[in-house]
Amino acid sequence: MLRIECPCCGLRDHDEFRYGGDASVTRPAHDDPDPQAWYAYVYIRANPAGLHREFWQHVTGCRQWLVVERDTRNHAIASVELARKLAPRKSLARKSPA
Amino acid sequence: MNSNHKRLSIGGRIDREQPVEFTFDGRSLIGYRGDTLASALLANGVTLVGRSFKYHRPRGIFSAGPEEPNALVTLATAGRRQPNLPATTLELEDGLVAESQNRWPSLAFDVQSINGLLAPFLSAGFYYKTFMGPTRRAWMFYEHFIRKAAGLGRAGSGHDPDRYDISHAFADVAIWGGGPAGLSAACAAATAGARVALIEQDFLLGGQLLAEQSDSAAAAWLRQAEAELESSETVTLMKRTTAFGIYDGNVIGLVEQRDPSNPQLAGEARQTFTMLRARSIVLATGAIERPMVFSNNDRPGVMLASAARSYLNRFAVLPGKKIIVATSNDGAWRAAFDLADAGAEVIVADVRAAPSTALAAEAGRLGVVVRAATRIVDLNGGHAVRRATLNGPDGQPEAACDLVCVSGGWSPTVHLTSHLGVKPQYRDDIGGFVPGAFPADRFGAGSMMGTYSTAGAIEDGHRAGIAAAWFCGKSMPVPAPSKLDLGETATALLREAPSIGRGKAFVDFQMDVTTGDIELAHREGYESVEHLKRYTTLGMGTDQGKTSNFAALASMAALRNATIPETGATTFRPPYTPVAIGALAGCAIGHHFKPIRRTPMHDWHMANGAEMIEVGLWMRPFFYRQSGRDSNEAYIAEMRSVRQAAGLMDISTLGKIDVQGPDAAIFLDRIYANGFAKLPVGRARYGVMLRDDGIVFDDGTTTRLAENRFFMTTSTAKAADVLSRLEFLLDTAWPDLRVAVTSVSDEWAAMSVAGPKSRAILSAAFPVLDVSDAAFAHMGLLESEWQGRALRILRLSYSGERAYEIYVGATAGEQLWSRLLEAGRPFDLKPYGVEALGALRVEKGHVAGPEIDGRTTLDDLGLGRMAGKRTGFVGDVLRRRPAFQAPDRQRLVGLECIEEGKRLRGGAILFLPGEKPYGHGRGRVTSVTFSPERGHYVGLALLAGDVASEGSEVVAVYPMKAETVRARIASPVFLDPQGERLHG
Amino acid sequence: MASPDFSLSVADCPLIQIEGWDGTLGQFEKSLSALLGTKLPDSVGETVRQKGLLVIRVAPRRLWLALDDGLEAPSLAVDPDLGCSVSLGEGRERFRMAGAHIAPVLSKCITVDWRAPAAAPGRAVLTSLHHVPVLFLRTGDAACELIVPRSFSRSLSDWIADAAG
């Protein structure tokens, strides 16, 4: 069983988490009209034998989405971070929040 | 013969004050507390305990541990049946009932031992060659007989009356093996400050030390170590516990047997499956002695030398009086000396030319006859050995015997280290495989690492214990371990070639694989060890080839003229020893198989005639028994009652999500295909969400409670997925949106009142509320309080009738449900179940799970207008890809059954009239119902767009029931296309 | 069920969730702290007790306020520019457990290390029981609580009772 070190909750069993797919692909902006960009985001995967960045949600814990770096060859986990910390900050055409 | 006639009067680790009664093949026998089934059988002079897998050859007890290939029994007491258990690991308990296996009619007289005569036909590859290819049909005929003849014990078919538990445990350092290395590691790690779990499969700690005499220095060392560990608060001793596998994250799978000697545990789980999470692991799993290969080496009375010593010193059983010890190393001499000392006549046949003078001197002192450069070539005796043929400098003398002890050296138990990919490496100096390089959090010690002396194992364990504790950040000073030197001499191992006489020489006793089979495999090109294993079934028994693996490798290496490392080793996989399925299931059986979700009105449904159905984890009313004689009659009656008067439905299972924040409206605009930003406060809207790839994800209704607050409902099935997806988008894509999403599914009891009388019922139930159409229009919201709990009423319809969804705090759910039924009684309000709910929506042409099946788009479902020309929402771009616009893409249609007395079925495949009903057809029926409105079956279907013209016919084929029925394509809305009933 | 070795009782669980927005969290917590009259727990799993109110941090920007039996919920006017609140008390139940056997019983239910500092008295752990999300609250040396979703409550209390029986 994989055990994932949740930055909020500590080392927990993988059945407390939900897998969320490849975190190395870049999601186009919500209003990006380019089909190629969406096609690449939805379908194109590198599938590496080695370190893989992937999303996991601590779904029965703090419910935070995490970015986990896992070695696909031996399941060794190199790093875990809150996805929110790594996410691009701007999707809204808005002045900085009050 | 008198009972226990092979038992010595003193010594051993058995309690002669506590006799234990047990039964073997119907014979009542006596053993003592501290016995295993095997030791008790030997004490009673039982030497024949089983028949072999393929040839039904008589077999005896071969080992004294989990490596046992022969002495497998079935435990069969009142209602229980557990097959294939090694008698050597079964702790003797009162009332134990064991049966031998694979014999008929009896163990001593087995008619199928004739298979032995058919042996030339049953060699490796027999099944493949005989029954594959042109003669495959013959297999159909013979399979039954072959399966009956070959095999092991049979499982029971009744319900298992025992209880099993699953538990979770934690430790800094897990130590696997309670021999000298493991004990020393545990003492060191605990002293260093670590929390230690020491795992030992036996019911006593000590490992090989238990085979030393009970008044020896070894026994004193063991007592001291045990006392130290028992008194330590940070050490958990897990005896009777088998570690069957190591998994990712240093999780170790353990199965613990209940202690049969403790009557207080009688009601507890027979076995407990524990998942132990450790930060570091010390493997001190020991080594397994190897057999020797010669003709008829499987006869009852042939036993590993270390096992004979263990039976003598631990169990006070002298298993033979005239003993031949056949060996290739020094270790077995210690067994010879102890057996001679206990009064047996002993001959040592050592394959080496010149055993050491020290050993020879001791042999002389004890009257042990030594034959150097001598090996056994054949054995005589059916149910017990009688005579051995030797081969040495003196020609081929014969020697009478009743026990043959063998030792072909030792194999470190590397099975467990292999589980996570540590490859075994061959060490020439010890002639065996040891584990390769460990990862940083795992350590090895003792004979598993090739350290065969007790003194060395203790040193090794001490070092490993300190290192494993240090890995966990525990580094308190640890004094040197107390020493124990048993004076074992280093044993240079001779690469011993098998010596074959006239009979079969077995390599794998359990799978009946002989040297002949290995030669055959080699001749036919199956040279790689992995091919050898699969071709001959070597090592594929319940013992996983613990005693056979090395001899087979050595044979193949010799045949290929290669070294052992060149020949390679197979990969060991979990489980190390067989695990009962019951233990893996634990208590997650019966009503605990999965957790059950109950709505706040569950008890009312149960008390009022509801037939319940599982929907995901939820229990929901399927129909109410008072509505009709069977489900068909009931759902049609419940539908009629909704269409003509009113019905009440428990919809608490809908997913409910609270969406709040300054950017909530923008957020909803992005996740729904239709717009929500302009939804006025106090209004609800049906919405559809897409996936990124443009396929429909889920649908539901979202209501604007306030400028910054929305109340979303999802389908019952997708509730968790939707919430997770919303959180995903907020955390990873749009973290600048100030929005909070929270599941409030459990917070609200929800019920729907539907039907032409629903407004009157509402008005009767809530006299203070204005529910007139002027105040409360379709898609409107009414917020209030009821009995001190929040109340939300939405005017929404799923059935096509005027309807209201009523949400109230969950704790008041059942109370409000009863209140509504009471208020509705004058209006003929009746509860209805999910079957009627589904039927009503089909009649109205609403899509649900069978249509939103992860393959359909908005356009497929006829909902394309909802998105219109909007952009910037999830799935917007890919939903417009050309493939989704193909003219033959399947889209939603209605079907009406046009054959009198016939019905449509969900899942039926659609063909054009006259088309051969073959393959995937033009589409499929997704949902059906009998329509009281139309008087016949109607259904929803997904049908290729290029043939889906309304009014034309299709044929619905249902091969499962060999049914074919004609149907007419229609609009999916079978009822009230203008939507007038919503206001009726 | 009740015995000196293990007891389990089930009660309602008044509960309010409060969440602050990313970017203005400091300001939000300052005002909330003033409103409640106590400092807030710093990290996920920490709790602070204040006059019948237990404040638990369940996520970096999310707090649960669990009320003792019979206590009226404090009226919390959260500035919508800083955060929001939602009541969760109708949808949860509280299991109270105590007794000498509590640790072995719990080991058959949840994957929480009873002896770890993260599970010491006063700490909270979000975890799962039979795949259902639950909040574990360590209330004493041989006592703890679980806050569970109401729809699963009976299934989970049956599970615990069977584990203890």
- Provide the pLDDT for residue B1: 45
- B567: phi then psi, degrees, rounded to nearest 5: -75, -35
Nearest 5°: the CA angle B679, B681, B686 is 45
Instruction: Write down which chains contact chain B via at least 3 CB pairs under 8 A.
Output: A, C
C107 lies within 8 A of chain A by CB: no
Residue of C nearest to A63 (CA): C59
Q: Is the pLDDT of residue B507 over 80?
A: yes
Contact A14/C at CB under 8 A: no
pLDDT beyond 60 at B773: yes
Does the CB of C125 have a partner CB in chain A at under 8 Å?
yes
Question: C20 with C75, same domain?
Answer: yes
Question: In angstroms, rounded to a whole number, what is the distance separating the alpha carbons of residues C104 and B33?
Answer: 28
Interatomic CA distance for residues B282 and B186, integer angstroms: 9
Q: Is A2's pLDDT higher than 90? A: yes
How far is the alpha carbon of C107 from chain A, nearest alpha carbon, in Å? Answer: 14
Q: How many other CB atoms sit within 10 Å of the CB of residue B936?
A: 18
Asked if B248 and A2 come within 8 Å (Cβ–Cβ), the reply is yes
Is the CB of residue A61 less than 8 Å away from at least one CB of chain C? Answer: yes
Please indicate whether, in this complex, the C-beta atoms of A16 and C128 are within 8 angstroms of each other: yes
Same domain, C25 and C78: yes
For B166, the closest of C22, C90, C108 (CB atoms) is C108
Q: How many CB pairs under 8 A join A and B?
A: 89
pLDDT higher than 60, residue A96: no
Q: Which residues have CB under 8 Å from C100's CB, separation 6+? A: C4, C5, C6, C142
Report how far residue B732's alpha carbon sits from residue A16's, in angstroms, rounded to the nearest whole number: 19
Alpha carbon separation from B655 to B702, B834, C110, C149 (Å, rounded): 11, 16, 26, 13
Greater pLDDT, A53 or B571: A53
**Beta strands per DSSP E along B203-312:** 235-238, 241-247, 251-257, 271-283, 287-289, 302-304
pLDDT tens sequence across B86-119: 999 999 999 999 999 877 667 777 766 666 666 6
Total count of domains within chain C: 2
SS3 state of residue B504: coil
CATH number of the domain encompassing residue C121:
3.30.1360.120
A83 touches B: beta carbon within 8 Å: yes
pLDDT of res. B374: 93
State the pLDDT at residue A98: 41
Residue spans per domain, chain B: 15-117, 164-287+412-471, 291-408, 494-593, 602-652+747-840, 655-743, 886-983
Instruction: Assess whether pLDDT exceeds 60 at residue B496.
Output: no
Q: What's domain B15-117's architecture?
A: Roll (3.10)
Of residues B28 and A90, more confidence is placed in B28
Is the pLDDT at B353 greater than 90? The verdict is: no
Task: Find which of B120-129, B337-346, B386-395, B517-526 is predicted with most confidence, using mean pLDDT.
Answer: B337-346
Q: How many structural domains are present in chain A?
A: 1
With beta carbons under 8 A apart, name residues in chain B contacting C12. Answer: 811
Are the beta carbons of C132 and B595 separated by less than 8 Å?
A: yes
Which of B265, B651, B660 has the highest number of chain C CBs within 10 A, making it the mutation to test binding with C?
Answer: B660
> Is the residue at C100 inside a domain?
yes
Looking at the fold, whether C49 and C98 belong to one and the same domain comes out as no
pLDDT greater than 90 at residue B567: no
Report the percentage of chain B scoring pLDDT > 70: 94
Q: In the predicted model, is pLDDT for residue B145 greater than 70?
A: no
Give contacts of C152 with chain B, Cβ < 8 Å: 595-597
Final residue belonging to a domain, choices C89, C120, C135: C89
Whether C74 maps to a domain, the answer reads yes
Give the largest Cα separation in chain C, rounded: 51
HEC string for A44-81:
CCCCCCCEEEEEEECCCCCCCEEEEEEECCCCCEEEEE
* Average pLDDT, integer, range C125-152: 98
Q: What CATH number does residue A33 fall under?
A: 3.30.2270.10
Q: What is the pLDDT of residue B268?
A: 87
Residue where a domain terminates, one of C68, C89, C110 = C89
Class of the domain covering B602-652+747-840: alpha beta
Q: Which of B260-274, B383-397, C79-93 has the highest mean pLDDT?
A: C79-93
Calpha distance B378→B390 (Å, rounded): 7
Can you say whether the dihedral through the CA atoms of B841, B844, B845, B846 is positive or negative? Answer: negative
> Lowest mean pLDDT: which of A49-53, A63-67, B559-563, B894-898?
B559-563
At residue C71, does pLDDT exceed 80? no
Contact between chains at B595 and C154 (C-beta distance less than 8 A)? no
B603, amino acid identity: D
CATH 3.50.50.60 matches B291-408: yes
Q: Do residues C78 and C96 both lie within one domain?
A: no
Structure confidence by residue, pLDDT tens digits, C28-67: 999 999 999 999 999 999 999 988 899 999 999 999 999 9
Contact C56, A8 (CB under 8 A): no
Residue C64 lies in a domain: yes
Q: The CATH number of the domain where C60 resides is what? A: 3.30.70.1520
- The tokens for B57 are 């050859």
CATH class, domain B164-287+412-471, is: alpha beta
Tell me the CB-side half-sphere exposure of residue B800, using CA atoms within 13 A: 27
**What local confidence, expressed as pLDDT, does residue B266 receive?**
82
Tell me whether residue C2 is in a domain.
no
Q: State pLDDT tens for residues B716-758.
A: 999 999 999 999 999 999 999 999 999 999 999 999 999 999 9
Predicted local distance difference test score (pLDDT) of residue B106? 76
Domain span at residue A32 reads: 3-86
CA B908 to CA B925: how far, in whole Å?
5
Whether residue C54 is found in the same domain as residue C111: no
3-state DSSP assignment of residue B605: helix
Question: B956 pLDDT exceeds 90?
Answer: yes
* Minimum Cα–Cα distance from A84: chain C residue: C22
Taking a C-beta distance cutoff of 8 angstroms, is the pair B891, B883 a contact?
no
Q: Taking the model in full, what pTM does it have?
A: 0.93
Whether residues C107 and C80 fall in one domain: no
Alpha carbon of C109: minimum distance to chain B alpha carbons (Å) = 7
C29/B946 Cα distance (integer angstroms): 61
Closest-CA residue in chain A for C112?
A12
Residue B173 has pLDDT above 70, yes or no: yes
The owner of tokens 């955060």 is C83
Average pLDDT over residues B183-191: 98
Question: Residue C26: which domain range?
Answer: 15-89
Q: Within this chain, do residues C30 and C60 fall inside the same structural domain, yes or no?
A: yes
Query: What ipTM goes with this model?
Result: 0.98
B contacts of C19 (beta carbons < 8 Å): 740, 742
Tens of pLDDT, residue by residue over C89-133, are 999 999 999 999 999 999 999 999 999 999 999 999 999 999 999
Contact B180, B484 (CB under 8 A): yes
pLDDT per residue over B934-949, tens digit each? 999 999 999 999 999 9
C149 touches chain A (CB under 8 A): no
Over residues B209-247, the pLDDT tens digits come to 999 998 899 999 999 999 999 999 999 999 999 999 999
* Range with top average pLDDT, A87-91, B257-261, B775-779: B775-779
- φ and ψ at residue B387, rounded to 5 degrees: -150, 140
Contact between B732 and A94 using a beta-carbon 8 Å cutoff: no
Which candidate, B176, B182, B173, places its Cα nearest to that of B481?
A: B182
| Amino acid letter for position B59 | R
> In terms of domains, do C20 and C59 share one?
yes
Average pLDDT, chain A: 92
Q: What architecture is the B886-983 domain classified under in CATH?
A: Beta Barrel (2.40)
| Binary contact (C45, A61; C-beta < 8 A) | no
The domain defined by B494-593 folds into Arc Repressor Mutant, subunit A (1.10.10)
Strands C124-129 and C62-67 turn out to be unpaired
pLDDT score recorded for residue B151? 66
Strand blocks (E) in B130-195:
164-176
B661 touches chain C (CB under 8 A): yes
Taking an 8 Å cut-off on Cβ atoms, the answer to whether A89 and B666 are in contact is no
CB-based contact C162 B587, cutoff 8 Å: yes
- Whether the CA torsion A72, A76, A78, A82 is positive or negative: it is positive
Q: What's the confidence (pLDDT) of residue A91?
A: 76
Q: Judge: C111–B168 Cβ closer than 8 Å, yes or no.
A: yes
Contacts of B489-493 with CB under 8 Å at 24 or more apart are B489/B330, B489/B356, B489/B358, B489/B359, B490/B330, B490/B452, B490/B453, B491/B329, B491/B330, B491/B331, B491/B409, B491/B452, B492/B329, B493/B328, B493/B329, B493/B409, B493/B430, B493/B431
Shortest CA distance to B844 belongs to which of B971, B667, B676, B688? B971
Domain boundary (C30, C61, C89) is at C89
Which of B662, B709, B789 is nearest residue C90 as measured by Cβ atoms?
A: B789
- Asked if B249 and A3 come within 8 Å (Cβ–Cβ), the reply is yes
**DSSP secondary structure letters along B855-875:** S--TTTTT-HHHHTT--SSTT
CB contact under 8 A, A31 and B275: no
The C-alpha of A33 sits at a distance from chain B's nearest C-alpha, in angstroms, of 6
CATH, domain B655-743, list 3.40.50.300, 3.30.360.10, 3.90.1150.10, 3.30.70.1400: 3.30.70.1400
